[in-house]
Amino acid sequence: MSEKESIRLQKYLADCGLGSRRFCEKLISAGRVKVDGEIVTALGTKVVPGRQSVVCNGKPVAQEASVTLLLNKPPKVICTSDDPQGRTTVLDLLEDLPERVYTVGRLDFMSEGLIVVTNDGDLAHALMHPRYHVPKVYRVWIDTPLGYHQRPKMMRGIPNQGETLRVLDIDEGKHTKQGVEYTITLGEGRNRHIRRLMEHFNKKVFRLQRVAIGPIRLDDLKTGEWRRAKPAELKLLRIAIKEAKGLTK
């Protein structure tokens, strides 16, 4: 086996569209992957694409042409490939797509807006890596305005459930028919990040929408619709990832 040609098994599985590298590591550890007919559970295993047989859950896997989609997730849709409760998933909105893809990161059940769906393991890994935080922009509508000192507190950081929740930026807000609307920029996004901040200040969230991931914007993409990312958009996104990596060094 050529060391230069070989790659880690979890990366290969991610490149084949089975999920994020972290998810693929779980598949390997669970004994659901075979290489050349033998079950492999060691995460350090390497394979040579195209020269070795790789099977997951009894089905051969192979690298597909790279595809990255931008989707406007509606509320009440979940960001998983399957749901035991039978709820609509993001992948259900992509029924006619021939490639096997997965979501990069998540929006919670009631949240909506921009989400990246891809089979590009390198892109997904970079976007989800805990050290590299590509800024993400959200719009949130709440019942009453934030107090004078609450916005600065959000930027400094608020302890919550063993974590520190902070925002990179938050505007002054404006009154709309849907509630008081704020635009919030996050660096590191934690589970239910904005909702937990609003709960901390006893604010009721009427609506939460992600409108941008780095340079990629939701713009006029309608709810439930998707499109393929343009090469220029992917180039800008990779530049943003590279810049985010540079800030962590």
* Helical spans, DSSP H, in the chain: 9-15, 21-29, 121-128, 150-156, 193-200, 231-248
Question: Which three-class secondary structure string do you get for 118-142?
Answer: ECCHHHHHHHHCCCCCCCEEEEEEE
Active-site residue, 108 included? yes
Q: Cα–Cα distance between 129 and 222 in angstroms, integer?
A: 29
Active-site option among 108, 120, 122, 169: 108
Q: Cα–Cα distance between 108 and 86 in angstroms, integer?
A: 16
| 98 Cβ contact partners less than 8 Å away, ≥ 6 residues apart | none
Q: In degrees rounded to 5, what are phi and psi of residue 217?
A: -115, 150
List beta partners, residue 59. 56
Q: Cα–Cα distance between 209 and 196 in angstroms, integer?
A: 15
CB 168 within 8 A of CB 185: yes
Query: In this structure, what token pair is assigned to residue 85?
Result: 């409760």
- 78 DSSP assignment: B
Q: Cα–Cα distance between 179 and 143 in angstroms, integer?
A: 5
Active site positions, annotated:
108
